Amino acid sequence: MQRAVAELVPVLPLLTDLGTRFAAAGHELALVGGPVRDAFLGRTPPDLDFTTSASPDETEAILREWGTATWDMGRDFGTIGARRREGGTETVVEVTTYRADAYDGVTRKPVVAFGDSLEEDLVRRDFTINAMALRLPSLEFVDPHGGLGDLRDRVLRTPSTPEVSFGDDPLRMMRAVRFVAQLGFVPAPEVLAALREMAGSLEIVSAERIRDELVKLILANHPRAGLELLTESGLAAYVLPELPALQLEVDEHHRHKDVYVHSLIVLEQAIDLEGPADGPEESVPGPDLWLRLAALLHDIGKPATRRFEGGGGVSFHHHEVVGAKLTAKRLRALRFDKDTVKAVARLVELHLRFHGYGDGQWTDSAVRRYVTDAGPLLQRLHRLTRADCTTRNARKAQRLSRTYDELEARIEKLLAEEELAAVRPELDGNEIAEVLGIAPGPALGRAYKFLLSVRLDDGPIGKEAAADRLRTWWAEQEESTS
């Protein structure tokens, strides 16, 4: 308790002030949930959640006197927000009236009923580690469901039975998986059994809510444990069915038990290649959602492209192309934004490109195309490609690493010499129109693409040479249509 309070020292004046104000008005106030859990874990809570016996109107009246602004976070759900500015410091709080929710099991919208006690509020929370509270201003510790013991034992349990808890809100099953990844906890046997039994009820939860939990899972410090639970419990079948499907496929190099294990290892290795959170953009500061999703999904095209070859071999031709399409489809279904869908699918599509490099036989033209095809995703592609090497053959791994070192060196040299990051034809649209004597339209677009290919194949050749090549190409186009 002393260590937990020590973590709360920076906010103790706030806790004491608010607790005293609510008590003076005849109401209870408690710090509850994640902030209490984090304090016992030795972490200063990033957010503060309060619960109270006061009604939303009573809470608003107290917070109006305390802060410089208040707002309705969801009055029907009992939550009022407030802001207080002192000097250069701004403090934001949210206070929710004791709840005794029930869900109708169909729409996932809670039927709100305000509770009468802190204990009644705590029993409706998702896990025992989040069902601990500190009464304010006394700092009395309230733990009716043994959350502190479960925190010590790193076990996930529910205040009520798991069936009741998950039945109230099936998204709590995704939260269980996320806490495994974030906190390194393991589900209690009865929780794991309920996850398996009730996985199908996740179908009634909106894609947006599932996506948000999946993102938190992917961005956790150790997402592999959470993803393994997601698969083992059967939840993945309703969230990311492409993941368990990989267990059926043998990696073509026979390096791993299955492609599923390989994909999890690639994810871990990609995380290791992320830059520090405050690093420059080119270091791909972690946690990076696009890189991690691409690492996890890079081989999901293999089940659809598996072919058994003569001699017992297995091939997955064009699985990167199929995988890119499947990636885009799944991310759209989960309501990811367009930029994320496009970027992750593109990384999946390009993840095998390096393997055509061989022992360095690529021309400068091929290197230029590698860079321009990757565009702003180049640094992520570097890390994804390196992470995809999971061979246990140390000599082979070293050779692949040296070869990619050489490719990166060539890329840096060409980037410095030719500004490939912003490669353009050496004639702009107006100049092309003037050389050919044509107006803007489809023909001008084709001419632009032709000069871009010249730039990629031959590098900078100068405006006059580019104009000559353009005229020759244009004459050939006219001959072919005459």
Residue intervals in the chain for CATH 3.30.460.10: 2-153
**Are 278 and 266 spatial neighbours (Cβ–Cβ below 8 Å)?**
no
Residue whose tokens read 């690093």: 279
Compute the radius of gyration of the chain from its Cα atoms. 29
* pLDDT at residue 255, as a whole number: 44
| Residue 400 pLDDT exceeds 90 | no
* pLDDT at residue 155, as a whole number: 97
155-239 has which fold? Hydrophobic Seed Protein (1.10.110)
| Residue 129 pLDDT exceeds 70 | yes
**Are 13 and 31 spatial neighbours (Cβ–Cβ below 8 Å)?**
no
**Between 459 and 188, residue with greater pLDDT:** 188
* Helix, strand, coil percentages in the chain from 3-state DSSP, rounded to 5: 60, 10, 30
Spacing of C-alpha 317 from chain mean position: 28
* pTM, full prediction: 0.82
**In the chain, what percentage of residues exceed pLDDT 90?**
56
Each residue of 320-365: pLDDT tens digit? 999 999 999 999 999 999 999 999 999 999 999 888 766 667 888 8
Q: What is the mean pLDDT of residues 462-478?
A: 87
* pLDDT at residue 256, as a whole number: 43
* pLDDT at residue 443, as a whole number: 87
**Between 35 and 5, residue with greater pLDDT:** 35
2-153 has which fold? Beta Polymerase; domain 2 (3.30.460)
Residue intervals in the chain for CATH 1.10.3210: 257-422
Q: What is the mean pLDDT of residues 85-90?
A: 80
Each residue of 226-246: pLDDT tens digit? 999 999 999 999 999 999 999
**Between 89 and 335, residue with greater pLDDT:** 335
Q: What is the mean pLDDT of residues 205-222?
A: 96
Chain mean pLDDT for the chain:
88
C-alpha span between 167 and 164 (Å, rounded): 5
Residue intervals in the chain for CATH 1.10.110.30: 155-239
Tokens of 133: 């509270």
The class that CATH gives domain 257-422 is mainly alpha
Beta strands in 189-348 (DSSP E): 307-308, 314-315
In this prediction, residue 143 has a pLDDT band, given cuts at 50, 70 and 90, of: very high
DSSP designation for 72: E
**In the chain, what percentage of residues exceed pLDDT 70?**
91
